[in-house]
Amino acid sequence: MNGDDGNRTTGETGPDEDAFADALLEEELRQAAAVLDPVPAELLQTALDAFALHDLDARLAELTFDSLVDALPVRGVMDPPRMLTFRAGEVTVDVEVTADGLIGQVLPPQAVRIEVLGGPQTASPLTADTLGRFTGETPPAGPFALRLRTGAEVIVTEWLRA
């Protein structure tokens, strides 16, 4: 009968022994991963430092459109710009990232101060006009977020890898 323990022919491996061997092997793999492929120390440190990015006063602008996911590839265009849209309530931020840099527009049009964050410790200002159009000379290298200061509030876009 299946599943009847204590009633097993000697020499066969039963389900319990198999499960035990599976658990042992899994544990062995876990130890192997810890030795051969651990989390790199500098990454762990970056993650620890990321606590500084926890900002209670800023409003989060969520990613609502990402051309990498939401747009069909254009035939023949080898390196299309990355189009992103973030939204926080009634405020929308459109961003286009190309090899030459970054351009974008805050809607509704308004004067903002805006900077690009590159990590817990790096922020560099972008040029913005009174209508909320902004440009950056260099494309973000690695993860980035935009921090906007409107007259009334601070908005930060969701972190993203460019």
Interacting residue ranges for other proteins, rule: CB under 8 A: 18, 21-22, 25-26, 28-40, 43-44, 46-48, 50-56, 60, 66, 68-69, 73, 78-80, 119-120, 142-143, 145, 156, 158-161
Measured from the CB atom, the residue of 135 and 159 that comes closer to other proteins is 159
Smallest gap from Cβ 58 to other proteins, in A, equals 8
Measured from the CB atom, the residue of 52 and 111 that comes closer to other proteins is 52
Smallest gap from Cβ 34 to other proteins, in A, equals 6
Question: Contact 113/125 with Cβ under 8 angstroms?
Answer: yes
Going by C-alpha positions, the residue among 138, 144, 136 that lies closest to residue 160 is: 144
Kindly state the tokens that stand for 63: 């990613």
Q: What are phi and psi of 132, to 5 degrees?
A: 85, 15
Smallest gap from Cβ 50 to other proteins, in A, equals 5
Question: Contact 61/86 with Cβ under 8 angstroms?
Answer: yes
34's enclosing H/E stretch is: helix 15-36
